[in-house]
Structure 1
Amino acid sequence: MTKKRLKVISIILIIVAFLLVFAGYRQQTAALVPTRLHSTPTLFLHGWGSSINAEKQMTSAAQRAGVTNSVTQALVDRQGRVHLKGHIPPHARNPIIEVGFKDNRNPNYHQDGRWLKQVILKLQQQYQIKNINLVGHSMGNMAISYYLLDNADNQRLPKLRKQVAIAGHFAGIIGAGDRPHRLHLAATGRPNHMDNNYRTLMGLRQRYPNKQVKVLNIFGDKNDGTNSDGDVTNASAQSLRYLVQARALSYQERKIVGSDGQHSRLHESRRVDRILINFLWK
């Protein structure tokens, strides 16, 4: 092989290497460029000791119903760092984000709210979102409630448009501040007993977004005489009304009675799936 031929081959290899590096750089840079979404994203939050697996039934049902064509994930590590998994196309229809907390047994609800805020800020940075919907199961509702409580005056955050509470233990959990038939609600929805968390959440009566959010409260009743889903009494779940109804754009409740009304089965119920889909996207 002549020196001239070796020189030509070397030049070709250098050009090919340059093109590969440039292509990789362009791909990496494109991933960092913010994408403006044209549809309101919906975030799903799991409960105590759980994970995004608890959200799969509901998000998969939305996909099967054809109301969304994008399901991605936002995973929060123990240090509060957010890792987005998957990419949302700019023209995605009703994109869903499954939110997962690595520290899924954290009882500091202010901290849970801060983690949710970090997720929302990350999505805002990446996708320039202006509005959001939030769906919480069990403790996920406390993360949502404390996020709203602690950020009510922050006008730079996306506007909450729809909120769904599933099995929310706003006024206590059976065995941890509540028991069957202990809690009673006045005609106004005010509970006769308030634990420390509920007294803190009372701030929502003045700070909840005014005439902006449509609220759906789903709770379960096993129909076993306890008036509960096994973990949360109906009164504890329904005490959300006293906190938000006066300022919500609308407020409605749906009770799931029978085996599907058990606490964990509520996020695995086709009845709940249909209610969610109709409320969020129909």
Structure 2
Amino acid sequence: MEEFPMKKKIGIIISIVIVCFVGIVLFKTKDSAHASKKIEPPLAIPAPVIMVPGTNGDVDRFDSLVNSLKETEKNVDEIKITVNKDDSITSSGQFTKETKRPIIAIAFEDGSNPSLPKQARWFQKALEYAEKHYTFNTYDYLGYSNGGLIITGYLENEQKSNDPALYHLITLGTPYNDTSWDYNENSSTFTKPKDESNLLKYYLKNKQNIPKNITVYNIAGNVDNQNTDTTVPLTSVLAGRLIYGDSEKYKEIIVNEQANHGSLIENPKTLKLIKEYLFESVK
């Protein structure tokens, strides 16, 4: 009469052992599966060209320029990053191991003139986002119109010690001394501003924070020798020398043909200069 309970006990013990064994096997299998899913490090890429548009411009502003570059340059790829007003990021595109000249277009949900200081901070956020996916130590920068002010504000007030370092900088039609003739001479020569706008005063205040070991190309449009690109007075663009003039290299270029503000990006001479300064230098 006691054999049945004993057999029952043995059966229970065997069942427990089997359950434990199966549990251990499943745990180790799951743990092994997790171990096999290694976290991939950010992809190392060559120094990218970061492009930032002007007032209320979006990440598509440079599409025609990028398409033109792709016609003559090999392995040009682009990603687009938009920083929203709540600091969140929207992005598209990706780089691969085959990418030789990466382009990052950065724009902002609020690209208005009053938000320029915020855009400098948002630019730093975009850099951080890019670094989560890609590794690069230096970058080149093309700032169209207010895009030149955004990088200036970033370098003066928002750059962090572990951020990638700026190497080449091209500013294109940037209104360093605002756009009003009240502050600018109607002249093709520049010695000092007719008057310093609040905008120029703001960027002169912390210019000592800008790294000096950069190369700066300051490009201006001059339509029909009227000393303006029809939006930005020539002397306003040339006031950039007050901020960047003591850089390792500073050069001013004035474009006369197809030089109105809206078409400076598509200007054939501008395209040639961009290829020369930002692409041929890395071949």
Shorter-chain TM band: 0.7 to 0.9
Alignment of 1:72-87 (within 5 A): 72-87=79-94
Secondary structure at 1:267's aligned position in 2? coil
Kept in 2, the 8 Å contact 1:180–1:226? The answer is no
User: Using the alignment, how far apart are the partners of 2:107 and 2:221 within structure 1?
Assistant: 23
Counterpart residue number, 2:254? 255
Q: Does 1:216 align with 2:217?
A: yes
User: Using the alignment, how far apart are the partners of 2:188 and 2:114 within structure 1?
Assistant: 22
Counterpart residue number, 1:168? 174
User: Using the alignment, how far apart are the partners of 1:62 and 1:245 within structure 2?
Assistant: 29
Kept in 2, the 8 Å contact 1:181–1:227? The answer is yes
Counterpart residue number, 2:125? 118
Kept in 2, the 8 Å contact 1:180–1:228? The answer is no
- The percentage of counterpart residues that share the same residue type is 17
Shift of residue 56 of structure 1?
1.2
Number of matched residues? Answer: 247
Alignment of 1:26-65 (within 5 A): 33-65=40-72
Deviation track 1:175-215 (CA, whole Å, cap 9, x = no partner) reads 7x6466289732xxx424111121121135411102x2111
Length-normalised TM-score, structure 1? 0.80
Give the residue type in structure 2 aligned to 1:216. Y
1:278 to 261, 276, 279: 276
User: Using the alignment, how far apart are the partners of 2:279 and 2:94 within structure 1?
Assistant: 21
* Runs of 5+ consecutive residues of structure 2 not aligned to the other structure: 1-29
Deviation track 1:141-187 (CA, whole Å, cap 9, x = no partner) reads 111111111135x3211100011100000001137x6466289732x
Larger radius of gyration: 2
User: Using the alignment, how far apart are the partners of 1:106 and 1:251 within structure 2?
Assistant: 26
1:129 to 116, 124, 136: 136
Length-normalised TM-score, structure 2? 0.79
Secondary structure at 2:120's aligned position in 1? helix
User: Using the alignment, how far apart are the partners of 1:267 and 1:94 within structure 2?
Assistant: 19
Kept in 2, the 8 Å contact 1:183–1:193? The answer is no
User: Using the alignment, how far apart are the partners of 2:157 and 2:267 within structure 1?
Assistant: 32
Shift of residue 139 of structure 1?
1.3
Shift of residue 118 of structure 1?
0.6
User: Using the alignment, how far apart are the partners of 2:75 and 2:214 within structure 1?
Assistant: 21
* Runs of 5+ consecutive residues of structure 1 not aligned to the other structure: 1-21
